[in-house]
């Protein structure tokens, strides 16, 4: 019998590493290939950034509580977020969908309403795609293209010892929004009771209608800040922080009391007897930007209320740690969403 290795035994990043380990670059225009938020392509001296994401019904979204308009919006935004995470400006997208015949044209119109709303908000053009049937379920693939000034793109591997670790917005909200939606779905299925989500608008919005941090990239440009490394938080802070440490060959110290967590997130976490810090560290889909800057940029970062300094970069030998409110040191462990498990 042929050997059989389960995909789950490698994990998502292990699998990507395995599948691309012999991937060689042939074109001089390929500036940056697999392994970051986006690829970078040289176009006659200027640079194009390109990234793609696939969203699968039942894995990435549940149509029971995801309005199609929100889904269209989010499908675009999560891809734009990858472009911003390269310090680039998105300009075009391509959108492919596979749909079963359970969807009507009216349903698709709703989905596209969200797609176009995101294109308008972020000033990107929908320039192509593919529309096909599926036997079951809804699959969405978006490719986003962006521009960046020559060699101004920011990778994951540039963090240096003593750099400040910073984050935009707040964390854990999307995970808690998902938790409440899943809970209410279960209650509805069991009892038929309509959910009352009124006082959870913030966290539900974080899940269903995330925004990409265009404003942060614009702030960098206006303030002449060049992050030394950056990525967007799709899998949870711990997982993303470990990516930066691994690729930059450094360690880190994070401070629990510096993690930005919204009051509504905290409140709902306590209600569920969840630790808000754990939600911030491991909850995915916040689409905030995690980045490192030189200490010299401290004042500029501090002057922006939407940005938080949550720690600093250390030598690799010092490990990847988080210091709790009580002063204890813990190893940072990735427990991010692993869709392949």
- Residue numbers 134-163 binding a second copy by CB under 8 A: 134-137, 139, 141, 143, 145, 147
User: Would you say 158 and 59 are in contact if contact means Cβ atoms under 8 Å apart?
Assistant: no
DSSP code at position 57? B
CB of 64 to a second copy, least distance (A): 14
Question: Should residue 116 be labelled a site residue for a second copy when binding is judged by CB under 8 A?
Answer: yes
The nearer residue to a second copy, 136 or 186, going by C-beta atoms, is 136
Token pair for 262: 């919204």
Per CB under 8 A, contacts with a second copy among 3-22 are: 3-10, 12, 15-16, 18-20, 22
Question: Should residue 92 be labelled a site residue for a second copy when binding is judged by CB under 8 A?
Answer: yes
The nearer residue to a second copy, 78 or 307, going by C-beta atoms, is 78
Question: Should residue 43 be labelled a site residue for a second copy when binding is judged by CB under 8 A?
Answer: yes
- Of the ranges 47-55, 172-180, 203-211, 287-295, which one interacts with a second copy (CB under 8 A)? 47-55
Question: Should residue 106 be labelled a site residue for a second copy when binding is judged by CB under 8 A?
Answer: yes
The nearer residue to a second copy, 37 or 211, going by C-beta atoms, is 37
Contacts with a second copy by CB under 8 A: the residue count is 83
Question: Should residue 278 be labelled a site residue for a second copy when binding is judged by CB under 8 A?
Answer: no
| Nearby residues of 97 by Cβ (< 8 Å), 6 or more positions away | 108, 111, 129, 130, 131, 132, 138, 139, 140, 141
- Of the ranges 93-101, 160-168, 190-198, 307-315, which one interacts with a second copy (CB under 8 A)? 93-101
Q: Nearest-CA neighbor of 122 among 73, 86, 61? A: 73
Question: Should residue 133 be labelled a site residue for a second copy when binding is judged by CB under 8 A?
Answer: yes
CA pair distance 187, 202, nearest whole angstrom? 21
The nearer residue to a second copy, 234 or 265, going by C-beta atoms, is 234
What separation in angstroms does the CA of 25 have from each of 22, 33, 49? 10, 8, 16
DSSP letter for each residue of 202-242: HHHHHHHS----HHHHHHHHHHT---SEEEE-SS-HHHHHH
The nearer residue to a second copy, 25 or 324, going by C-beta atoms, is 25
* b/e 151-163 (16+ beta carbons within 10 angstroms → b): eebbbbbbbeeeb
CB of 195 to a second copy, least distance (A): 22
The nearer residue to a second copy, 218 or 318, going by C-beta atoms, is 218
CA pair distance 124, 83, nearest whole angstrom? 12
CA pair distance 113, 6, nearest whole angstrom? 39
- Of the ranges 27-35, 264-272, 273-281, 313-321, which one interacts with a second copy (CB under 8 A)? 27-35
Q: Nearest-CA neighbor of 40 among 73, 88, 76? A: 88
């Amino acid at each position: 019998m042929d050997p059989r290795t389960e995909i789950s035994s490698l994990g998502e990043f292990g699998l990507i590493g395995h599948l691309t380990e012999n991937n060689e670059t042939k074109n001089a225009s390929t500036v940056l290939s697999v392994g970051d938020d986006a690829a970078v392509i040289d176009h006659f001296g200027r640079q194009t950034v390109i990234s793609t994401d696939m969203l699968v019904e039942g894995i990435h979204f549940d149509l029971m509580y995801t309005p199609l308009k929100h889904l269209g919006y989010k499908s675009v935004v999560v891809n734009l977020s990858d472009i911003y995470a390269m310090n680039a400006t998105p300009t075009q997208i391509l959108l492919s969908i596979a749909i079963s015949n359970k969807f009507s044209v009216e349903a698709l119109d709703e989905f596209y309403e969200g797609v176009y709303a995101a294109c308008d908000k972020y000033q990107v053009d929908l320039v192509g795609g593919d529309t096909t049937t599926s036997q079951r379920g809804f699959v969405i693939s978006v490719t986003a293209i962006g521009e960046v000034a020559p060699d101004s793109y920011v990778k994951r591997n540039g963090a240096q010892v003593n750099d400040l670790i910073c984050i935009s917005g707040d964390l854990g909200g999307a995970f808690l929004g998902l938790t409440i939606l899943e809970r209410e779905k279960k209650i509805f299925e069991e009892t038929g009771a309509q959910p009352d989500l009124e006082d959870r608008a913030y966290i539900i919005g974080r899940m269903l209608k995330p925004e990409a941090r265009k404003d942060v990239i614009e702030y960098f440009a206006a303030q002449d800040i060049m992050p030394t490394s950056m990525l967007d938080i799709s899998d949870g802070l711990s997982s993303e922080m470990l990516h930066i440490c691994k690729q930059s060959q450094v360690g880190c110290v994070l401070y629990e009391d510096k993690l930005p967590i919204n009051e509504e997130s905290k409140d709902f976490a306590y209600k569920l007897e969840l630790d808000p810090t754990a939600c911030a560290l491991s909850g995915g889909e916040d689409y905030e930007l995690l980045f490192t800057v030189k200490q010299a940029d401290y004042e500029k970062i501090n002057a922006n209320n939407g940005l938080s300094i949550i720690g600093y970069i250390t030598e690799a030998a010092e490990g990847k740690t988080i210091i709790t409110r009580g002063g204890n040191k813990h190893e940072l462990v990735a427990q991010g969403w692993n869709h392949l498990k």
